[in-house]
């Protein structure tokens, strides 16, 4: 019986040089006036979820069909 050359498995780190999550400072509070909501250190925004600038909703997971997005956008009050 011969010993076959074993394949060489090299252990490589999946995430070489992995760093801890980037954080954005501890003990920050929401920028909005009078709001004392503590911001998560992982929250890159300067305001809480309630006061953060309204921006395009970031869809996670299922993407809304364009038609639905438009319908939601036009549903906003338009004063001008
Ligand atoms: Zn706030």
Tens digits of residue pLDDT in 28-40: 899 899 999 998 8
Domain range list for the chain = 21-54
Distance 26 CA to ligand 1 centre (A): 16
For residues 57-69, b (16+ Cβ closer than 10 Å) or e, as one string? Answer: eeeeeeeeeeeee
Distance 23 CA to ligand 1 centre (A): 19
Higher pLDDT, 2 or 4: 4
Whole-model pTM: value is 0.38
Nearest to 76 by CA among 49, 56, 50, 47: 56
Distance 27 CA to ligand 1 centre (A): 14
Residues with CB under 5 A from ligand 1 (ion): 30, 32, 35, 37, 48, 50-51
DSSP assigned state of 50: T
Tens digits of residue pLDDT in 14-57: 666 767 777 778 888 998 999 999 988 888 888 898 888 766 66
Distance 3 CA to ligand 1 centre (A): 68
SS3 label, residue 26: coil
């Amino acid at each position: 019986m011969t010993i076959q050359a074993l394949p060489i498995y090299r252990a490589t780190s999946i995430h070489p040089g992995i760093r801890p999550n980037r954080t954005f400072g501890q003990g920050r509070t929401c920028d909005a006036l009078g709001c004392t909501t503590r911001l998560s250190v992982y929250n890159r925004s300067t305001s809480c979820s309630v006061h953060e600038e309204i921006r395009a909703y970031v869809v996670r997971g299922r993407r809304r069909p364009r038609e639905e997005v438009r319908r939601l956008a036009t549903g906003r009050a338009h004063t001008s």
